[in-house]
Amino acid sequence: MTGEINILCVEDEGLLLGDLIGELQDSGYGAVAARNGREALDILQTMKPDIILCDIMMPEMDGPALLKKIRSTMPALDQVPFIFLTARSAREDVIEGKKLGSDDYLTKPVDYDMLIATIESRIAGVRRMAEHSRQQLAKLYKAYKATQKEKPPIRVSIVASNTKAIAPISSALSEVGCTVTLISEDTLHANTFAEHSYDVTFLVYSKKVHYLLQYLENSAHKNKAAKMVVLVPPNMNANTKEALAELGVDGCIEFPFRPVEIFKVIMDKLSQRPGNGKKVMTSLA
pLDDT at 270: 74
Say how far apart CA 136 and CA 267 lie, in whole Å: 13
Say how far apart CA 22 and CA 37 lie, in whole Å: 21
The candidate with the shortest Cα–Cα distance to 176, out of 197, 147, 202, is 147
pLDDT at 281: 38
Q: In sequence order, which residues have a C-beta less than 8 Å from that of residue 116 and are 6 or more positions away?
A: 23, 27
pLDDT at 33: 96
First CA to last CA across the chain, in angstroms?
Answer: 31
Question: Which CATH number is correct for 149-272, 1.10.260.30, 3.40.50.2300, 1.20.120.330, 3.30.980.20?
Answer: 3.40.50.2300
Backbone angles phi and psi of 84, in degrees to 5: -80, 140
pTM for this predicted structure: 0.57
Q: In sequence order, which residues have a C-beta less than 8 Å from that of residue 200 and are 6 or more positions away?
A: 154, 155, 156, 157, 226, 227, 228, 229, 265, 266, 269
Please state which CATH number belongs to domain 6-130: 3.40.50.2300
Say how far apart CA 262 and CA 132 lie, in whole Å: 16
Break the chain into its structural domains and give their ranges.
6-130, 149-272
Which residues pair with residue 179 across a beta bridge?
Answer: 155
pLDDT at 285: 39
Q: Which helix (H) or strand (E) holds 16?
A: helix 14-26
Say how far apart CA 193 and CA 226 lie, in whole Å: 10
Residues in the chain: 285
Say how far apart CA 101 and CA 68 lie, in whole Å: 8
pLDDT along the chain (285 residues), means of 10: 78 94 94 95 90 92 90 79 83 75 86 93 83 68 64 83 76 80 76 66 87 76 71 80 85 79 80 53 39
Q: Are 6-130 and 149-272 the same fold in CATH?
A: yes
The strand order across the sheet containing 82-86 reads: 30-34, 6-10, 51-55, 82-86, 104-107
**Quick one: residue 141, left, alpha or beta (phi over 0 = left, psi -120 to 50 = alpha)?**
alpha
pLDDT at 100: 74
